[in-house]
Amino acid sequence: MNNYEVDKLRETFSRLFVLAVRNKINFTSFTNLLSQSGFLSKIENNKIDDIINIPVEKILFSITGFEVRVDNSYGVYNDAYWCGQNYFDLHLRTNKSFIYIFLKLPLTEMMNIYSIFHEMDFTSLLDYFNKKEKEKTILRLLCEKKNCSLNDISKATTLSLNTLKKYNSSDELLYKASFQNIAKLIKYFDVSYLLFINEK
């Protein structure tokens, strides 16, 4: 992507968050739907030709099924807009998938830290995100979201408890898991394979 395309997509991405918040779409549902959308997939795979000029309200509808009659996101630079800007920049700077970033730094938390970070340089938020990455592993966060235990996963997937404990102790060990084991976790948690890849 050239600089113009990056700026345009960042703006569209940010305004999606403004529309979602203004229309009271649940934060967790919104980021889950966004993570699974073709819109993000095309950004992550740099296939942007057929999305770069689509109106933001049409993109929101394709992601959530929520129809916005009037797009009132133009010129709004609030906390939701800031969240969108910074999620986009975290993706660019870390080379991590959006689904990974949303898992490590959920939208509910991102909105809450707006008052602290919005006047700071982006590197302050990047440092905060780097610390968040180390606090909890991917598997632990997935378990918290699904409200399940390692025993539950073991029974449902036939993965041994020792193997799951190893994955739960370190993201790096999870990244080295076999394709078969990753496939079982993807099916169990119903998430994208991108969550289990270290970098794009």
Pick from 101, 79, 75, 105: nearest CA to 20: 79
pLDDT in tens, 15-34: 999 999 988 889 988 998 99
Instruction: Kindly report, residue by residue over 62-94, the tens digit of the pLDDT.
Output: 999 888 887 888 888 899 999 999 999 999 999
Supply the pLDDT for residue 13.
94
* 143-192 confidence digits (pLDDT tens): 999 999 999 999 999 999 999 999 999 999 999 999 999 999 999 999 98
34: CB partners within 8 A, 6+ apart: 16, 40, 63, 98, 102
What's the rounded Cα separation, in Å, for the pair 73 and 56? 9
76-90 b/e with 16+ CB inside 10 Å = b?
eeebbbbbbbbbbbb
Say which residue the tokens 């073991």 belong to.
154
Q: What is the CATH class of 138-196?
A: mainly alpha
* pLDDT (0 to 100) of residue 72: 80
| Structure token digits, residue 118 | 């919005």
- What band does 199 get if pLDDT is binned at 50, 70 and 90? low
Largest pairwise CA distance in the chain:
53
Domain positions in the chain: 3-135, 138-196
